[in-house]
Amino acid sequence: MNLGEAFMVEFVESLTHRHHHYIDGAWVVPSSRNAQAIVNPYSRKIFGQVPLGSRVDVDSAVLAARRAFNSWSRVPRLERAEWLTKLAVALTERSETIAKLETLEMGTPLTFFRPTHGRRSGRWLPMRRS
């Protein structure tokens, strides 16, 4: 295995072998031990695993989202737009990484995902203040 392949294995494992849910701004242990294998449909190889949420996990996430909505909705429109622009920039900067993960998950050629992610995230840029 060359250095590039070794990096890819380590990278994929860091993103695809998660054992927690991200709820209310923190990584939390799921209330269930159930998990779903992530299988590349082309190679039929398992390349990751993600925890499955229970009703308790979903209820916790929904309550957190409702609390966040209340505070987020009071943020001025232009400030919200600035945050969303920062998010779009971060996604654009990571578009190659996102494309590689989508390729593994969907079993399609990398070229299929490269332009898609660029167009989606780039659609929101640039945000101009008026």
* Lowest mean per-residue pLDDT among 32-41, 48-57, 119-128: 119-128
> What is the H or E stretch that residue 51 is in?
strand 46-51
**Tens digit of each residue's pLDDT (9 = 90 or more) over 8-49:** 555 556 666 678 888 998 888 999 989 998 888 888 888 888
Per-residue HEC secondary structure of 56-67 comes to HHHHHHHHHHHH
Q: How confident is the model at residue 122 (pLDDT cuts 50, 70, 90)?
A: very low
Sign of the alpha-carbon torsion through 70, 75, 81, 83: negative
Mean pLDDT of 76-84: 92
Block residue for tokens 């250095």: 3
Query: In the prediction, which pLDDT does 15 show?
Result: 62
pTM: predicted TM-score of the whole model, two decimal places:
0.65
